[in-house]
Amino acid sequence: MWNGRVNSPAEGAERPERVHPASHSLTGVGLAVLDSAGRVLLGLGHDGRWELPGGKVDAGEDFETAAGRELAEETGLVVSASDVLVMAVLVDAVGRLPRVTAAAVTRRATGRPRVTEPDKIVRWEWLDRRAVPSSLFRPSASVLDCLWPEAARRGTAGVRHYEVLASRISGSGASESDGVLP
């Protein structure tokens, strides 16, 4: 509410566009789940592309909580938010809509992956990094590029990487025992 003065909001009031902002971006998280052998969990989508577990961040969630929720919803695996490490924030665009994706990793998921959303995923597989297919969902490719920066870049064209923990991640050399990867 405005109090009648030019460009001055009433005490404690917020401008209407800040109270109800128009959507202008997608915010999500992609989670690289690694097993004890260092293999990554990928799901085969009905479109023939492989993808990591992940999805949109809900209002009030942080990236780590969203990663755990999405993992459980999509695979039945369970991970605590405290066992998820955000490696980088990625920015690209879908059409004209900016997309912000947190690239996250964990080694502490429990359970056995199963298809819980058969309308989206055909199957989940643990794949060695050398066996990761080239037909990847673009945000998933970008997350894997953060995890394994020395590997061939698959998802970086047109994606801005804002590294969060680059100095603490050494790709495949980091391990659970290092205290680097959760």
Which pairs count as long-range contacts for 143-152, CB under 8 Å and 24+ apart, including other chains? 143/30, 143/31, 143/32, 143/52, 143/54, 143/87, 143/90, 143/101, 143/103, 143/104, 144/32, 144/40, 144/52, 146/87, 146/88, 146/90, 146/103, 147/32, 147/40, 147/87, 147/103, 147/105, 147/171, 148/172
User: Tokens for 62?
Assistant: 């942080």
Domain positions in the chain = 27-171
Please report, in tens digits, the pLDDT of each residue of the chain (182 residues total). 445 555 555 666 887 777 777 677 889 999 999 999 999 999 999 999 999 999 999 999 999 999 999 999 999 999 999 999 999 999 988 778 898 999 999 999 999 999 999 999 999 999 999 999 999 998 999 999 999 987 666 666 678 777 885 444 444 444 444 445 55
**Distance of alpha carbon 130 from its chain centroid, rounded?**
21
- d(C-alpha 139, C-alpha 89), whole Å: 11
What per-residue string of b and e applies to 22-48 under the rule 16 or more CB within 10 Å gives b? eeeebbbbbbbbbeeeebbbbbbbeee
Per CATH, the number for 27-171 is 3.90.79.10
Please tell me the pTM assigned to this model: 0.79
Residue located via tokens 């955000």: 86
SS3 26: strand
